[in-house]
Amino acid sequence: MNKIVLPAYNKNIIRALRSLRVEGCSLRKPGIDEVLIKVHAAPCNPSDIAFMMGGYNIIKEVPTVPGFEGSGIVVEAGEGAEDLIDRKVSFFIQEENCGSWSEYVISNRKKLVVLDDKMNMDQAACFAINPFTARGLLDIALLRDNHAVIQNAAGGQVAAFVRQMAGDMGIDVIDIVRKQKTVERLKNEGARYVLLENDPLFEQNLKKLAHKLDARLAFDAVGGPLAGQIFNAMPFDAELVSYGGLSTKHISGIDSMDLIFHNKIISGFNLPEWREQMDDDFFEQVSVDMQHLFISGKYQTKIQGSVGFDNISDGLIQCLRNLSKGKMLIKAKVAE
Ligand SMILES: NC(=O)c1ccc[n+]([C@@H]2O[C@H](COP(=O)([O-])OP(=O)(O)OC[C@H]3O[C@@H](n4cnc5c(N)ncnc54)[C@H](OP(=O)(O)O)[C@@H]3O)[C@@H](O)[C@H]2O)c1
């Protein structure tokens, strides 16, 4: 089978992408509770980009195979997983020596979402992480009884799910983006409050809106000074939840008076930990409900295209230029 190999981490992402190569290797048999999955597709997520730069919380021995999620069909099973043969699955794998940018992967059954046969397999490739992340973030809003939230990187796919799910829950969303064209797109799609982070009146307008809507919860995927601006703009009793570090900069500019006297807090969200805390039956129900919304077409991950193993570097460099355009899927072969 063929797989994509990253020979070494590189802080320069273009160089890291240019260094990707296709390599052949042999397959091992799945062990107890493991399955062998023939991969249909795997996306390139910001976590994969951070990983290739050596800036993610997971560092594997190099050379390594990138990719933390994907979709496929179970073609072989070890003891205790035979019931999964021929099932469609989405998977989320972070194990050493196993990445989703490969023709086959081995996964423990616990790391799989077993899918309804009607799930579209391109959509399934992006199902295991982002929709559940949005759901996990909004669970915080429900727990805190917040009726308005703020989010940055709002042109991305987690943010799109947050907007859609929040709408269904009656929660207002203040979206923050970094490009004017993304403001226009989100407004065309029905987003109500969209702010441009480099507008000279950004901080002033955000504060006004956050107080008007009583937005006491923010989902931060960017970090850096933007996270500090959002934190300072929120009313007392607010919480800023950091779940991504797209700017690669430390959160900064926090008003310490807010922390001391206004009962504001900063916390972090990590999907695997949220999943761990969840009862298996409850997670299964959330997954089934969410799949129905994908099958009906109500929920969709925006996909900008697919790239084959033989053209991966050029395809991913092109996708980096416009992440808001949607996910780039990686497939062993892309039909002409
Ligand atoms: N903690 C968790 O468990 C968890 C789970 C899933 C995802 N995440 C994180 O969530 C974040 C979003 O993921 P995604 O899949 O939704 O991403 P995505 O679909 O690739 O979109 C990324 C978005 O972020 C914007 N962006 C990129 N760099 C930025 C910067 N420096 N400042 C402001 N905006 C920036 C992009 O805008 P342009 O179009 O302008 O480039 C794009 O709209 C990532 O950081 C990811 O790692 C965390």
On whether the CB atoms of residues 332 and 101 are closer than 8 A, the answer is no
Residue 285 counted as domain residue: no
Domain range spanning residue 34? 2-127+301-331
Q: What is the pLDDT of residue 335?
A: 76
pLDDT digits (tens, 9 = 90+) for 79-117: 999 999 999 999 999 887 789 999 999 999 988 999 999
Residue 241 counted as domain residue: yes
Q: Is the CB–ligand 1 distance for residue 185 below 6 Å?
A: no
Residue 95 counted as domain residue: yes
Number of structural domains found in the chain: 2
Arithmetic mean of pLDDT over the chain: 96
CATH of the domain at 317: 3.90.180.10
Nearest C-alpha to atom 2 of ligand 1 is from which residue? 270
Residue 286 counted as domain residue: no
Whole-prediction pTM: 0.97
| Shared-domain flag, residues 112 and 154 | no
SS3 49: helix
Q: Is the CB–ligand 1 distance for residue 157 below 6 Å?
A: yes
| Shared-domain flag, residues 109 and 139 | no
| Shared-domain flag, residues 264 and 157 | yes
| Shared-domain flag, residues 52 and 166 | no
Q: Is the CB–ligand 1 distance for residue 151 below 6 Å?
A: no
| Shared-domain flag, residues 161 and 212 | yes
Q: Is the CB–ligand 1 distance for residue 146 below 6 Å?
A: no
Token pair, residue 178, equals 């970094």
Residue 289 counted as domain residue: no
CATH of the domain at 187: 3.40.50.720
Nearest C-alpha to atom 23 of ligand 1 is from which residue? 156
Q: What is the pLDDT of residue 310?
A: 96
Q: What are the beta bridge partners of residue 89?
A: 72, 114
Q: Is the CB–ligand 1 distance for residue 130 below 6 Å?
A: yes
On whether the CB atoms of residues 328 and 305 are closer than 8 A, the answer is yes
Distance 35 CA to ligand 1 centre (A): 31
Q: What is the pLDDT of residue 232?
A: 98
On whether the CB atoms of residues 103 and 1 are closer than 8 A, the answer is yes
Nearest C-alpha to atom 28 of ligand 1 is from which residue? 246
Q: What is the pLDDT of residue 336?
A: 66
For 205, list phi and psi in degrees, rounded to 5.
Answer: -65, -40
Residue 81 counted as domain residue: yes
